[in-house]
Structure 1
Amino acid sequence: MFTSNVDDEEIKNFYQTISKNVKKYRIEKKMSQLELALTIGQKGNAFYNYAENNTDNKHFNLEHLYKISKALEVDINEFLKE
């Protein structure tokens, strides 16, 4: 049996870092959650709000991050920085 080299807490912190950075750049660009959610193809801001605030174990996937980086004109790597 194999064990993971990363624990659940580390993954949780990783997602929190991404969400914090997405929020920072969204606010810097003066976009609302709804505006950015619609720009990346969401029908509303419910999922986006959950992902940005790490609610209900929701988080952005790679496609979301790619679209967000294009919408905010931010290099996708900026979302990963602590």
Structure 2
Amino acid sequence: MFLSNTTDEEIKLLHNKVSNNVKYFRVEKKMSQLELALTIGMKSGAFFGNAENNTNNKYFNIEHIYKISKALDIPIASFLN
């Protein structure tokens, strides 16, 4: 089944919501982008920064969100609220 009624704008809003929530919880836990990126196994903070700021077509995937939720001790669903 193909969800033809899902728009690009809806997906963009979802990416924005997730990224904004990642930033909110990261700052709340007083972690830098680089610190959290390294904690979840990234080699640098460049991708993380781009994903958090929705630049260069970089977005967090489900594995990133799972690892971030574990690192920050935040329920994974919190990133979608």
- 1:63 match: secondary structure: helix
Equivalent-residue separation in structure 2 for 1:3 and 1:47 (angstroms): 29
Q: 1:30: which partner in 2? A: 30
Q: Which residues of 2 match residues 3-82 of structure 1 at below 5 A?
A: 4-81=4-81
The two structures have a TM-score, normalised by structure 2, of 0.95
Structure 1 residues 3, 28: closer, same or farther in 2, change over 3 A? closer
Equivalent-residue separation in structure 2 for 1:38 and 1:76 (angstroms): 19
Q: How many residues align?
A: 80
Equivalent-residue separation in structure 1 for 2:6 and 2:39 (angstroms): 33
Report the CA distance between 1:9 and its aligned residue: 0.7
Equivalent-residue separation in structure 2 for 1:3 and 1:59 (angstroms): 21
Q: Which runs of 5+ in 1 are unaligned?
A: none
- Structure 1 segments (4+ residues) deviating >6 Å: none
Percent identical residues: 64
- Map Cα deviations across residues 15-69 of structure 1 (whole Å, 9 max, x no partner): 0000000000000000000000000110000000000000011100000000000
Equivalent-residue separation in structure 1 for 2:3 and 2:70 (angstroms): 36
The two structures have a TM-score, normalised by structure 1, of 0.94
